[in-house]
Amino acid sequence: MKKEYTIAHISDIHVGEYGFRKDKLLKCIQEVNQLSPDLTVITGDLTFGGLPNEFEDAKKLVDKLELKPLVVMGNHDAKNVGHQFFEEYFGERMVRHEDDTVFLVGVDSTQPDVDEGHIGREFQTYIHETLSNAPKNKIKTFMLHHHLVPVPMAGRERDILVDAGDILKMLIEDGVDVVLCGHRHVPWVWRIENIDIIHSGTAGSPRTRGLRDQSYIIARISDDKLSVSLKPIGKPEEELRATTLGKRQ
């Protein structure tokens, strides 16, 4: 790898929520633009109620990012038939991206008006076929809203992906290196079977967990080394984990 590759990972904006921190989101956007990442992703919950005016406002804000982000839906976006508005403002609910470093697949893990996530056999087949045929020299990355494993400080676990076991097994077998997700507003990193599972916090909701502020994630890849930092908005970075990426077969 010739240079450091940087990913800005934003999640859970929640436009339309009571107490929505627009000031924090605008500061986040300013910081990400200054960072000038190679890839920007938003792992769902752009809105609070899946309403058309919320999607319109979210689109205007997201468009302030100088690098167009890859975006997937969250459970709040799926409320009130919100998938229709998501497609109108943000495009396809399945994402595929490839550059010199990363091969990424993103999916819609939501169900209408239900907080828990589900991918299902049809999408699972697509994910497997796509990832298993990815170039072996790329960092295989999977992106969704819901988390595959519980995270600390999130209270009683209710909303994990209902087919998480099947999906995690498939990702391991397909040699995935990195998973990006959000949902519970807890910034965290798990490493399971050589996969780094990166959870972003919330960039706009007032419902942060514990003493955490609104935040996002900065992940840096260099020579098969992965460094993951928490970026509280308006404050210095805090390193969460540094690992060697899993070997690709």
Per-residue pLDDT tens digits of the chain, which is 249 residues long: 458 999 999 999 999 999 999 999 999 999 999 999 999 999 999 999 999 999 999 999 999 999 999 999 999 999 999 999 999 999 999 999 999 999 999 999 998 888 889 998 888 999 999 999 999 899 999 999 999 998 888 766 667 888 999 999 999 999 999 999 999 999 999 999 999 999 999 999 999 977 679 999 999 999 889 999 999 999 999 999 998 886 543
Distance CA 138, CA 143 (A): 15
- In whole angstroms, how far apart are CA 228 and each of 27, 49, 221, 243? 20, 31, 9, 9
Is residue 145 left, alpha or beta, with left meaning phi > 0 and alpha meaning psi from -120 to 50? alpha
Distance CA 187, CA 92 (A): 26
Distance CA 152, CA 133 (A): 34
Distance CA 178, CA 174 (A): 12
Give the strand pairing for 195-199 and 188-192.
Answer: antiparallel
Distance CA 217, CA 149 (A): 18
Residues 111-149 as b or e (16 or more Cβ within 10 Å = b): eeeeeebebeeebeeebbebbeebeeebbbbbbbbbbbb
Distance CA 55, CA 30 (A): 20
> What pLDDT is recorded for position 166?
94
> What pLDDT is recorded for position 245?
84
- In whole angstroms, how far apart are CA 8 and each of 33, 69, 120? 10, 9, 28
Total-model pTM: 0.95
Following DSSP, what letter does each residue of 30-81 receive, concatenated?
HHHHHH--SEEEEES--BSS--HHHHHHHHHHHTTSSSPPEEE--TTTTGGG
The amino acid sitting at 124 is: Q
Q: Which CATH class is domain 5-244?
A: alpha beta
The amino acid sitting at 18 is: Y
CA 105, distance to chain mean position in Å, is: 11
Give the strand pairing for 178-181 and 139-143.
Answer: parallel
Identify the three-state secondary structure at position 227. Answer: strand
Give domain limits for the chain.
5-244
User: Which residues does residue 142 pair with via DSSP β-bridges, in sequence order?
Assistant: 105, 179
> What pLDDT is recorded for position 121?
86
- In whole angstroms, how far apart are CA 51 and each of 47, 48, 84? 8, 8, 10
Helix, strand, coil fractions of the chain, as percent rounded to 5: 25, 30, 50
